[in-house]
Structure 1
Amino acid sequence: MDEEAPTIASYVEGCPGCAMERKKASNKGIPYKELFFVAITTIASALPISSLFPFLYFMIEDLHVAKNEQDIGLYAGLLGASYFVGRFLASLFWGMVADRIGRKPIIVFSVISVVIFNTLFGLSVKYWMAITTRFLLGALNGMLAPIKAYSIEICRPEHHALGLSIVNKYKPYFYIKPTQQYPNIFHNKSIFGRFPYLLPCLCISLFAAIVLVSCIWLPETLHMHKNIYSEVEMSSDSRAPQTEDIHPDKSLYKNWPLMSSITAYCVFTLHDTAYSEILSLWTVSDRKYGGLSFSSKEIGQVLAVAGAGLIVYQLFIYRPIYTFLGCVNSCRAASALSIPLIAAYPFMTHLSGFKLGLALYFAAIVKASLGPQSQRGAANGIAATAMSFFKAIGPVGAGALFSWAQKRQHATFFPGDQMVFFILNVVQCIGLVFTFKPFLAISEHYDLK
């Protein structure tokens, strides 16, 4: 729901939130500078999540924890989930802290945690170390809730869709095992020979360190005074916001339109996370198990192209679609289009060469663009907590499902990986159903379109 800016009479000198409101009132254009900072800090936060999937299968192999090849998916799922378990336990806390001390300190602290723990993850030589560093990275990276609030607070209402689309997700990927892929550059006895997964993690950490320096120019947006809402409420200006929706004493848990939208979004999040892991595991698994026998480099290329397609979609296509259809209808359309797309994946094993590449790249780009798009601190803290819980379930469930499916290659009903993509579609259908009444409650003043 869009909110009007406070009236001029309600501005308080020295308050960073009011300074931002003044800036928005005087400049009706898109805040490109602020959105740029949102984009790069979001990338720094999101890269450790998405960059794991292309090499997860190979990392589990090298850590020697799986007893056989079919069990790799289960251990990969547990490792993929550890980040989201940490985020689930801490998201609400970080959202509340961001509402108390400001958005910027939490964002800065989160970037610092990426620099430290993402590097330590790349140095993992034991499964327990990999699990622990991923868990701490998720728990200490509290950026998700405040950055969504921040992306809204720096934009006028007409630009909120663009601000949220910037936050959504980016998926650049880097190559692993550099001593094998680039023996002329990286020697076997170098640090990258001993730690084959350090290079992608180190690249991300270096990028996060650069982003950390850029946070100096990141403006604060939180209102640093207690009575602004009551002041605005007493104002006779007709443009004053309705405190019924934003009063800090109102329980967010009793706001059914909010909670029902979070519920629907969590289902889509569960599906999206499970899909990301399954796609990587499926493409790199052997063809005798229904996979595509891709290398890490090949799946990295597929996911990188899908990420580039997603960026193009968010920058040039998402906003017009959002304006034309509205949030709910655009979500319904994306969900419905995803169903036949996912159903086609297991049949790609019958393709090869150019036809396989064309089909897989097209499907990956379209599916990335159809992923869930997002919904200020505490409210986003609740959403992030619930979403992180479902994201934690996603990799574990996907990994267990993938391992089980590989052991039933000759079953009569949806053999092998056909069962995996069938269950993915079941979850997608449940999410689609949750976007309709009575499951989804729409606020009276919300434009459904």
Structure 2
Amino acid sequence: MAEEYKESLLKKKYYENCPGCKVEQNKAVQRGIPFRELIFTWVIVLCTALPISSLFPFLYFMIRDFNIAKTEEDIGYYAGYVGSSFMLGRALTSVPWGMVADRYGRKPVIIIGTVAVVIFNTLFGLSVNFWMAVTTRFLLGSLNGLLGPIKAYVTEIFRDEYQALGVSTVSTAWGIGLIIGPALGGFLAQPAEKYPNIFSKESFFGRFPYFLPCLCISVFALAVTIACIWLPETLHKHGGNSILPDDSDEALEAGSCEPNEKGKTVETEESGPIPKKSLLRNWPLMSSIIVYCIFSLHDMAFREIFSLWAVSPRKFGGLSYSTKDVGEVLSVTGFGLLVFQLSLYPYVERLFGAIMVSRISGVLSIPVLASYPLIATLSGLALALVLNCASVIKNVLSVSIITGLFLLQNRAVDQDQRGAANGIAMTLMSLFKAAGPAGGGAIFSWAQKRQDAAFLPGDNMVFFVLNVIEAIGVLMTFKPFLIER
């Protein structure tokens, strides 16, 4: 009885001193889907995704108003630099933020990221020249390091049977943010022109025509920052030791330092911790990150090209859409994506597996992309219907690919390395995504100057290049390159 009482006291102290252990204890008793954590994850990821793409519908006009482009065809080059500056900043700081998350917790990094959105997204909307726009976007990317920690967070706070739903929530909120962001930018940019009865040209929003969408996103980010005060921490803290609750019995009873049956390390006084396996030598992790980077490059280039293509004149192969028209298309797309990811993706992943879902989605994306130049030949109701259907399908497939690769990355490492692993993924992905808008803008500008070329004239070349990148990504999902842990 004395031994049992002593053990119960030790366990009580163990859980009381570690927020992560309390989360694990709650996981052990939960039966249904943890909707509170689901909502937390949703709004945090949405908060960081909205500012990334909200500028795309109005970036063409913003660069034009800066008067830095010498010709109309050169606007795409400068638009690419502004779009890439965010990703470049994030690439330089993602690994340090991941290490901070592993040392001090997921929660502080998440809160700093949402505060960065409040400050620098607001300043971007007030940009008066090209270099101010580039600088504020770069700083926003540098200080917004929460995406890696939030991916680690969902794998730690959800039970095993709900992890696909948790990671799907991240990628869904991310995809929705990358769609709602441009929709907000399309509806709210240049309000004095769109809604003259509400906003006059002499008003503050008339003088800063691209501030309103940024302000709305920043207000939302401020609300999310306040809500994060109640965000539960999942990192295990035991006086500097990282002992997971699954190992609590072994830690209380054993006097040696050996991996338990789950492969986690128990640290004792007699011997130090077993050295952690190098993340760079973890091929299941690194292979999934590399494939993720290829698809991320494609995804970011496509998002910039789609908006530029939609608003460009018909004479250059575009649709002559307004920012409001682009916003309407992306709103429909966002709704379709939300329905699929929350209702169907967890079952599809359970049936086929993460790798197969990513592979099939990549293959199906190729004919969808190839149809976009043909869609530009339509008009009226036929154009609206076909474009909306193609946009929904393309984005559902893209987010399904990313979700599967998220799952593979977080399953490839243990908790004490998950923040750093996601930091590496964010760094490499951000470098590729930084190349996406810059390369996409350059290819788009080049393609618009070759309307009479014999081989793949105009925008046909743009979508052909996107399909080549997609095909490379699909090939890399096969063994021996991509391996699941």
For the aligned pair, the TM-score class normalised by the smaller chain equals over 0.9
Q: What residue in structure 2 maps to residue 206 of structure 1? A: 219
Q: Which runs of 4+ in 1 moved over 2 A?
A: 8-13, 229-240
Conserved? CA contact 1:339–1:429, under 8 Å = yes
1:55-94 equivalent positions in 2, closer than 5 A: 55-94=58-97
Alpha-carbon distance, 1:28 to partner = 2.8
CA offset at residue 13 of structure 1? Answer: 2.9
Kindly tell me: are residues 248 and 64 of structure 1, through their superposed partners in 2, closer, same or farther at Cα, counting changes over 3 Å? farther
| Partner SS state of residue 311, structure 1 | helix
Aligned-partner SS, 2:371: helix
Distance in structure 2 (CA, Å) of the matches to 1:432 and 1:87: 26
Cα pair distance change 1:234/1:420, threshold 3 Å? same
SS in 2 for 1:228: coil
The equivalent of 2:263 in structure 1 is 242
Task: Tell whether the 8 Å contact from 1:406 to 1:417 is kept in structure 2 after alignment.
Answer: yes
Aligned length: 435
Matching residue of 1:190 = 203
Give the alignment's TM-score, normalised by structure 2: 0.87
Q: Deviations over 1:155-201 (max 9, x none)?
A: 00111111111111122122211111111111211110110000000
Asked if residue 102 in structure 1 is aligned to residue 129 in structure 2, the reply is no
Q: Which structure is larger by alpha-carbon Rg, 1 or 2? A: 2
Give CA deviations for 1:123-159 in whole Å, capped at 9, x if unaligned: 0010000000000000000111111011111100111
Contact 1:10 1:232 in 2 (8 A): no
Which residue identity lines up with residue 237 of structure 2 in the other structure? M
1:217 aligns with 2:225: no
Identify which of 287, 293, 296 aligns with 2:314: 287
Matches of 2:350 and 2:324, distance apart in 1 = 38
Q: Distance in 2 between matches of 1:355 and 1:343?
A: 18
Name the residue aligned to 2:356.
329
Aligned to 1:393: 435
Equivalence for 2:452:
410
Choose from 326, 339, 344 the match for 1:312: 339
1:286/1:86 CA distance change after superposition, 3 Å: same
Give the drift of 1:300: 1.2
Amino acid at match of 2:135: T
Please list the CA deviations of residues 312-352 of structure 1 after superposition, one character each: whole Å capped at 9, or x if unmatched.
11111111111111100000010011000000001112100
Q: Distance in 2 between matches of 1:409 and 1:9?
A: 72
Distance 2:201 2:313 in 1: 27
Native 8 Å contact 1:28 1:156 kept in 2: no
Contact kept in structure 1, 2:247 and 2:260, CA below 8 Å: no
CA pair 330-248 structure 1, distance change in 2 beyond 3 A? farther
Deviations 1:397-416 (CA, angstroms, capped at 9, x unpaired)? 10000010001000011000
SS of 1:243's partner is coil
Q: Which amino acid aligns with 2:22?
A: A
Q: Which amino acid is the alignment partner of residue 263 of structure 2?
A: Q
Q: Please give the alpha-carbon distance, in whole angstroms, between the structure 1 residues aligned to 2:250 and 2:25.
A: 19
226-235 vs 153-162, which deviates more? 226-235
How far apart in 1 are the matches of 2:283 and 2:249? 24
Using the aligned pairs only, state the percent identity.
56
Q: Distance in 2 between matches of 1:420 and 1:211?
A: 38
Q: Which residue of 2 aligns with 1:121?
A: 124
Give TM-score scaled by structure 1 length.
Answer: 0.93
**Which one of 36, 39, 54 corresponds to residue 51 of structure 1?**
54
Amino acid at match of 1:228: I
| Kept in 1: contact 2:247–2:264 (CA 8 A) | no
C-alpha distance 147-367 of structure 1, shift in aligned 2 (>3 A): same
1:10–1:228 CA contact under 8 A, matched in 2: no
Q: Conserved in 2, the CA contact under 8 Å of 1:232 and 1:241?
A: no
Aligned pair 1:358/2:407, yes or no? no
State which of 355, 372, 378 in structure 1 corresponds to 2:420: 378
Distance 2:440 2:275 in 1: 38
* SS of structure 1 residue aligned to 2:292: helix
- Correspondence 1:228 to 2:270: no
Structure 1 position 239, deviation (Å): 8.5
- Cα distance change of structure 1 residues 363 and 99 upon mapping to structure 2, 3 Å threshold: same
Task: State the partner residue of 2:5.
Answer: none
Q: What residue in structure 1 maps to residue 410 of structure 2?
A: none
Q: Give the AA of the match of 1:307.
A: G
CA contact (8 A) 2:236 2:242 kept: no
Unpaired stretches in structure 1, ≥5 consecutive residues = 1-7, 444-449
Preserved CA contact (<8 Å) 1:151 1:160: yes
Q: State how far apart, in whole Å, the 2-side matches of 1:391 and 1:307 are.
A: 21
Q: Is contact 1:114-1:208 (8 Å) kept?
A: yes
* Aligned partner letter, 2:277: K
1:181-222, Cα deviation, whole Å (9 max, x unpaired): 111111211110110000000000011111111112111111
Once the two structures are overlaid, the 10-residue window that deviates more, 308-317 or 98-107, is 308-317
Q: Is the 8 A contact 1:15 1:223 kept in 2?
A: yes
In the alignment, the residues of structure 2 paired with residue 96 and residue 239 of structure 1 have an alpha-carbon distance, to the nearest angstrom, of 25
Residue 240 of structure 1: CA displacement?
4.8
The CA deviation at 1:362 is 0.4
Query: Could you tell me how far 1:227 is from its partner in structure 2?
Result: 4.4
SS in structure 1 opposite 2:344? helix
Q: Is the 8 A contact 1:83 1:139 kept in 2?
A: yes
Give SS of 1:436's match: coil
The one of 130, 134, 139 aligned to 1:136: 139
Letter in 1 for 2:228: C
Distance of 2:44 and 2:69 partners within structure 1: 35
1:381-433 Cα distance to aligned partner (Å, 9 max, x none) = 11111111100010111000001000100001100000000000000000000
